[in-house]
Structure 1
């Protein structure tokens, strides 16, 4: 992809992610194109359907979340890295809710869902292997606990509640 085409592609994904988070997947594609500074034809050339755009936004967000986890594991003290990543995960899950039913329809294959879970578990494993983290914690257990926290916080519409629950979970993960 040419550099300018890559920039347009990335800008469309950025704008679409914000629009989907605010308005859900019914957000106007014309408004997304306008805010990204491209024509609607450019959006449809890259993403022939709304579902293709939703899937691309989702995959980009998973990529970012996993890359952030690996970067944090490499550059921050263990428990601090884990806390920061867990907060990013909560935000990721909140944004993912805006993708709702469309995302469920797009990720119909169990392989797609499993691939995402495997990537998240690998990221968590890297974070759990850092200094200050209690040994023996299974990445899947932490992933499930974080998933529960995001569900509870979403029902209560309280981001602060999620932060408090992440703190409690982190206390259980911290090495003694």
Structure 2
């Protein structure tokens, strides 16, 4: 998995936005997170992923994105290209998780996403426990600061149960 740190929490609102994101990545400058070689990536298909986005006005809060995969020509490892507003291994974006944690579970914004209340509570508890352990004063952070500190401090984000064995983070645009 290769993440590109972005400052726009709502960058990806549709498939075209994601394709523009992928086109902006210079494959020749990427380091393989597994073997470390630079610039030996080839496009290697894609997989479909549903993502919950913050675009209530369109009436469609869940979109399907074909996530681009790339393969290292040297070690043959494959990696997904994701912006950091997509939280790996979930349907949620960073902003949606921020809403879950900071808003009441019955807030209209959260209920409009049509995510099960049990899921909301589980995610909220896990993320709060994770952020409390990392940054006891996280409640005083701005969204950008919390996101940046989460990325800097650990190879897991937001209390995910998955370790990022092959996490590459591209230079920031902040």
- Return the TM-score normalized by structure 2: 0.32
Asked which structure has the greater CA Rg, the reply is: 1
Please state which structure has a larger fraction of its residues in strand: 2
Please state which structure has a larger fraction of its residues in helix: 1
Work out which structure has the larger RCO, using CA pairs closer than 8 Å and 6 or more positions apart in sequence. 2
